[in-house]
Structure 1
Amino acid sequence: MEFCPTCGNFLQYELPHMGRPARFFCPTCPYVCQIEAKVKIKKKQRLVKKEASLVIPEKDTENMPKIDVPCPNCSHGKAAFQQHQIRKADEGPTTFYKCLNEKCGHQWSGD
């Protein structure tokens, strides 16, 4: 989508006609933007996937509800959990778990 730098309206596309190249034009003011045949890549940027860190503070696990669920790290059978709505409202909440094994403390999430 392109917008007019003069008045801010949505630019409309005009097909090439009689040797004139395709272009964008503003329907309310005389602004016209010619479309180049080649696409220019201004800057390449490498996307780096960041590791998500789930943080449930140690002191908060005392007041959190507990559940019988095996830890994927140490197989301990109990974990504290919290639920948060992190996606759209029509989707279920995500449950965040923290292993109650003092030597482990692994945190993970599940739907």
Structure 2
Amino acid sequence: MEFCPTCGNLLQYELPHMGRPARFFCPSCPYVCHLESKVKIKRRQRLVKKEIEPVFNKDDMKIGGSETDATCPSCGHGRALFSQVQIRSADEPATTFYQCMKCERMWRED
């Protein structure tokens, strides 16, 4: 949407006609803005991915984690460290984070 810089009304679009380019015009004052037939891209912005910070890192699991019987989905080892955190609302169950004691792969169960 474009607005008239003179009176602030919403500009209306008019199609090109008989050699005249397309334009925006104000219905209440004489303001007219002619449009170019080609659009120019002035700059391109590269999006940068943010680094994801883990809830637990490997050192946290070794210090505060407890051992349990859990099968690693990667290597099939039967023992893992685990820790539980309430990351959703209070009426939802806690999320359990596991770390395999053999390959040190981390996974979670909601």
Q: What TM-score comes out, normalization by structure 2 length?
A: 0.50
Q: What's the % identity of the aligned pairs?
A: 55
In the aligned structure 2, how far is the partner of 1:41 from the partner of 1:17? 26
- Between structure 1 and structure 2, the one with the greater Rg is 2
Does structure 1 residue 5 correspond to structure 2 residue 5? yes
Secondary structure of residue in 2 paired with 1:33: strand
In the aligned structure 1, how far is the partner of 2:31 from the partner of 2:72? 62
Aligned to 2:88: 83
In the aligned structure 1, how far is the partner of 2:28 from the partner of 2:45? 36
Consecutive unaligned residues of structure 2, counting only runs of 5 or more, are: 61-69
Aligned to 2:31: 31
In the aligned structure 2, how far is the partner of 1:7 from the partner of 1:72? 66
One-letter identity of the residue aligned with 1:80 = Q
Consecutive unaligned residues of structure 1, counting only runs of 5 or more, are: 59-68, 85-92
Pick closer, same or farther for the CA change 1:96–1:41 going to 2, 3 Å: farther
Q: What TM-score comes out, normalization by structure 1 length?
A: 0.50
Please provide the CA RMSD for this pair: 4.4
Pick closer, same or farther for the CA change 1:22–1:37 going to 2, 3 Å: same
The count of residues paired between Structure 1 and Structure 2 equals 92
User: 1:3 offset after TM fit, Å?
Assistant: 2.5
Q: What do the CA deviations read for 1:50-95 (whole angstroms, capped 9, x no partner)? A: 2233558x8xxxxxxxxxx98989x9464433116xxxxxxxx9x9
Aligned to 2:67: none
